[in-house]
Amino acid sequence: MPSLDQEMTCATGHQDFGHHQAPKHQRTSVMKCDILIIGAGAAGLAAAAAAHDPGLRVILAEKEDHVGGTTFRSGGCMWMPNNFLMQGTGIEDSKEQAARYINAVAKLTCSSLEEQAFHGRLRDERLDAFLTQGPEMMRYFRDQGFRWMAKPSQGEDRYQQFIGDPTVVPNPCMGPVKESPFYGIRIFPGDAGTRGGPQTDQFARVLRADGSVISGLFAGGNASVALLGTQGAGTTLAPAMTEGFIAVKYMQHLARGSGVILEDR
């Protein structure tokens, strides 16, 4: 996600995302932008939306025949601690509680004490940024017209019961699996992980191996080292959207010469 007045030479043409048609390259042109985003996944789309709103020139480049990245084929569920939906329904949560939980279930695996100290500090800073800016990101996109929905519990709402098995009682969504015939599902390795990619800091800036910052380059989501490298629905989606949001905020503060980058509300 390079930033600030980039120039891009590319082939332009029509692409119908709805029918998955390949791009028809018609001509080569030069386009200028404030932010060039490579990859239209959750992080890229969040960054593009956050950058476009204040009037920045954005180019979003995607090589696939659909936008959304791995999120395109996901269930669309994400986990965000202490968000406004929880607060509105009286569910108690806090930044501190979420940090304790995450630190308990997501352990760092490093080969040396020096590496442990370096990556531990980075992770603590990234985690603090996620827990501070994640709920803010949700409020921001809500105010822009994005509709957030609380995830229903397992089979207790009318919609889930309607698409369940009406012959199973009392909950048509959950029943014992005890009679044949049984059907097998072929399982094979996928190419989407939650731990690979370049290391980033709390501002989503890409770091070199020695910890120095690569100027103007940001990354988030599956394109970077995951903050929550654990099993479970939504452990990549929430950090990805937050990292895209944080990256754009950081660029805007730099452009304005502000000394305050992240603030807790």
Look at the pTM and tell me if it is higher than 0.75. no
pLDDT reading at 28 higher than 80: no
3-145+194-256 domain in CATH 3.50.50.60?
yes
Token reading at 96: 């501190």
Whether residue 19 is predicted with pLDDT greater than 70 in this model: the reply is no
- Which pLDDT value is given to residue 180? 81
Q: Can you give the pLDDT at residue 233?
A: 53
Helix or strand run (H / E) with residue 31 = strand 24-38
CA distance 145 to 106: 33
Summarize pLDDT for 210-249 with one digit per residue, the tens: 999 999 999 998 888 888 766 555 578 899 999 999 999 9
Residue 114 has pLDDT above 50, yes or no: yes
Q: Where are the chain's structural domains?
A: 3-145+194-256
Instruction: Tell me the pLDDT band of 77, cut-offs 50, 70 and 90.
Output: confident
Distance from the Cα of residue 24 to its chain's centroid: 30
Cis omega (within 30 of 0) for bond into 172? no
Between 73 and 250, the higher pLDDT residue: 250
CA pair distance 89, 168, nearest whole angstrom: 30
Query: What pLDDT is stored for residue 262 in this prediction?
Result: 43
Q: How confident is the model at residue 204 (pLDDT cuts 50, 70, 90)?
A: very high
